[in-house]
Chain A
Amino acid sequence: MSFVIRTALKNIKGKPFRSAVMIFLVMLLSFALFSGAFIILSLQNGLSAYKARLGADIIVVPSSASGHGTVDDILLQGITGNYYMNKKQLEKLDTIEGIEVSSKSFFLTSAKASCCSVRVQIIGFDPDTDFTVMSWIKESFSEKIGDNQLVIGADVTVPADHIIRFYGKNYNVAAVLDRTGTGLDSAVYVNMNTVKQMAEDASRLSAADGLEGIDPSSAASAVHIKVKEGYDINDVTDDINIHVPKVMASSSRSMISSVSEGLSGVSNMTGFLVGAVWVMSLVIIIAVFAMVSNERKKEFAVLRTVGASKRILFGIMCAEAVVESVIGALAGLLAALLAGISLSGLIKASLGLPFVTPDTASYTVICVCSLFLSAAAGIITAFLSAVRITGNETGLLLREDA
């Protein structure tokens, strides 16, 4: 081992408190960088997933759905329920001008009782007319969803045999969807035939409320609408609200923008806090390095008297900084990873916004960046101190200390 490395390691070991302070400061930097990037990226992922999910210009639900929350809640938080628009309302809806395509969904809430293995939101949709769910499902399941097949959200537990029981019948799990960070992750997607079969079974078993007098073949819980080019989305939304009785229509753009605003607010605040912690830690590191260098002037001067060149001195200071910074950056990263993984559920719940943790590739990128930037901050600070110290004549350092 070279003299420079050996001396640096001895100095780190010989001054455990000083070294621990340096390591802790770099650890703070790394922790702040990683956790900030983690939160911001997760929010951005959430928004992307949310936008992709809302492929429609307008969403229409029956007024009775308001007891279950706003349309935003229904889509964002996945708060669905057994509420339905009847044939008349749907026919009226079809007469509204400016609708290019519409696709119906049928919601059913399973009860976790003897009838069903798990309590989930069942969402039935028509793969032939759908332009929202399929594009999302296709990422995980490229085939057309068949009868008696389930495509489930990321938070629904998949049994080992891939069979889930609803209303007395077994269904096959065909695919698990990518995470969206919303309540939709705990939903189960089926085609219209399957959901109607389930609704009939539920009625027969009296296992679901709100199905009385509903003909599943002609009812729908929500309708996703794409507006024709040349028509204003808000005008079409207003037309629906005025002309179709007992429905609530909302433009998804307004929902996205309200979510976007929420996300950008949280994102900006997180960015600001992370920036503040980062700058504060950096200032403290610079100050501590400067103080420590001053305190060590005599030590450096002694090394110079026994023949150490400026380069050797520089090497010792930088080697110490590299070791301390890398240890600090790794420790901070590890702490942030553990916190990120264990607290992501809590963060998601407290934010109430789409929150999708990054994939492995993104994790790797933010890990490497946090590691590199925080280690670099420590090393550059040490480098500046080294430049300052080696710029002084040894005789002057000895004179100052005498």
Chain B
Amino acid sequence: MELKAEGASRWFFRSNKSSNYFYAVQKTDFTAENGKITVIGGKSGSGKTTFLNMLCGLLSPSEGSILLDGEDMYEMSDSRRSRIRNKLFGVVPQGQTGLKSFTVLENVLIPAQMYGSKTDLTEKAESLLDGLGILELKNVYANELSGGEMRRMSLARALICEPQFIFADEPTSDLDDEATSSVMKLFRICADKGAAVIINTHEKEVSDLADKVYRMDKGVLLPAE
């Protein structure tokens, strides 16, 4: 499957001297490459998160389009786009994103159970948690986790349905070197299986492990030097 951004931009209302809006992301062309880890670097507020959210179907572009196999994702119904996000996309949003009324294992299984799948993915969820070093926390409620543990749980949740496109926004921000290494290993495994992995980060260690690196600067996506 092919995921592309064609002239996609996004602006927001914000008053300043010259106008009352600003472009978070300028018109951008981009193709998510299957089987590769792509890293988008850049300073805070450069537009990385906005771009990632547009790519994964969570934020419509102001201009241009996001095409999945040639079909504009934002022309699709919400139900269909949500199903695509559930089955084909794995999203790790920024920040602490655990659902606090659920245990770690239940959090990880949410995408698999959302549309009534009969397949029991508990073993797979446990294996992912094991790979990320938090299996012993599987029955702990999300609100009892540390920041780093919560990030790893979010990652396991994003990977449970074996997505073809993985979008991770600062996935290693709260992690130590060892945990960062296990996360990147998991991403590599996914990429080797054919998934397109797109990571927003400003950590050099992560960029060093990427196949392709971009830099976002004031809403403009540029190839890294």
What's the A-B contact tally at a CB cutoff of 8 Å? 93
Measured between beta carbons, the chain A residues less than 8 angstroms from B185 are none
Q: Is B130 an interface position by the 8 A CB rule?
A: no
Most buried by A among B87, B101, B106: B101
**Chain A residues within CB distance 8 Å of chain B:** 2-3, 10-11, 13-15, 298-299, 301-312, 393-396, 398-399, 401-402
Interchain CB contact under 8 A, B94 and A398: yes
The answer to the question of B222 belonging to the interface, with a C-beta cut-off of 8 Å to chain A, is no
Asked if A308 meets B114 with Cβ closer than 8 Å, knowing A301-B93, A395-B53, the reply is yes
Q: Scoring B residues 68 to 111 as 1 if CB is less than 8 Å from chain A, else 0, what string do you get?
A: 00000000001100110111010101110111111000100011
Closest residue of B by beta carbon distance from A15? B101
B65 sits at the interface (CB 8 A): no
Asked whether B59 lies within 8 Å of A306 as measured between CB atoms, the reply is no
**Cβ B94 vs Cβ A402 within 8 A:** yes
Instruction: Check A393 against B94 for contact (C-beta < 8 Å).
Output: no
Do A394 and B59 touch (CB < 8 A)? Answer: yes
Closest chain A residue, CB of each to CB of B97: A302
Considering the chains assembled together, what is the distance between the CA atoms of A301 and B192 in angstroms?
Answer: 30
B102 neighbours in A (Cβ, 8 Å): 10, 14
Q: Tell me the nearest residue of chain A to B54, going by C-beta.
A: A395
**A185 CB to nearest chain B CB (Å):** 55
Task: With CB as the reference atom, state the residue of chain A lying closest to B90.
Answer: A306
CB-based contact A309/B116 at 8 Å: no
Pairs across A and B, CB under 8 Å, 7 listed:
A11-B101, A298-B97, A301-B93, A302-B93, A306-B157, A307-B89, A401-B95
The verdict on B49 contacting chain A, using a C-beta distance below 8 Å, is yes
When C-beta atoms are compared, the residue in chain B nearest to A311 turns out to be B79
Q: Among B78, B87, B110, B114, find the residue whose CB has the most chain A CB atoms closer than 10 A.
A: B114
**A residues less than 8 Å from B31 (CB atoms):** none
Given A302-B93, A402-B94, A402-B95; A307-B83 close (CB under 8 Å): yes
When chains A and B are docked, how far (Å) is the Cα of A11 from the Cα of B98? Answer: 13
Residues on B lying within 8 angstroms of A by beta carbon are 49-50, 53-54, 56, 58-60, 78-79, 82-83, 85-87, 89, 91, 93-95, 97-102, 106, 110-111, 113-116, 141, 157-158
Contact call A299/B58, Cβ cutoff below 8 A: no
**Docked CA distance A10–B141 (Å):** 12
- Complex CA gap A401/B96 in Å reads 10
Identity of the chain B residue whose Cβ is nearest the Cβ of A313 in the assembled complex: B82
Using Cβ atoms and an 8 Å threshold, which residues of chain A touch B85? 304-307
Q: Complex Cα distance A394/B93, Å?
A: 11
Instruction: Tell me whether A306 and B100 are in contact (CB under 8 A).
Output: no
Measured between beta carbons, the chain A residues less than 8 angstroms from B158 are 306
Known contacts: A3-B113, A305-B93, A311-B79. The answer to whether A393 contacts B58 by CB under 8 A is yes
Knowing A306-B157, A307-B82, say if A395 contacts B110 (CB, 8 Å).
no
B97 touches A305 (CB 8 A): yes
Knowing A299-B99, A310-B78, A312-B82 touch, does A305 contact B91 (C-beta < 8 A)?
yes
Decide: A307 near B94, CB < 8 A? Known: A11-B101, A394-B59, A395-B59: no
Smallest distance from the beta carbon of A336 to chain B beta carbons, Å? 31
What chain B residues lie within 8 Å of A311 (beta carbons)?
A: 78-79
Chain B residue with Cβ nearest A10:
B101
Neighbouring B residues of A395 by C-beta, 8 Å: 50, 53-54, 58-59
A298: chain B residues within 8 A (beta carbon) = 95, 97
Of chain A, the residue at the smallest CB distance from B53 is: A395
* Min CB gap A170→B, angstroms: 71
In this complex, the member of A299, A309, A396 whose beta carbon has the largest number of chain B beta carbons within 10 angstroms is: A309
- CB-nearest residue of chain A relative to B81? A309
- CB of B128, distance to nearest CB on chain A (Å): 14
Asked if B78 and A309 sit within 8 Å, CB to CB, the answer is: yes
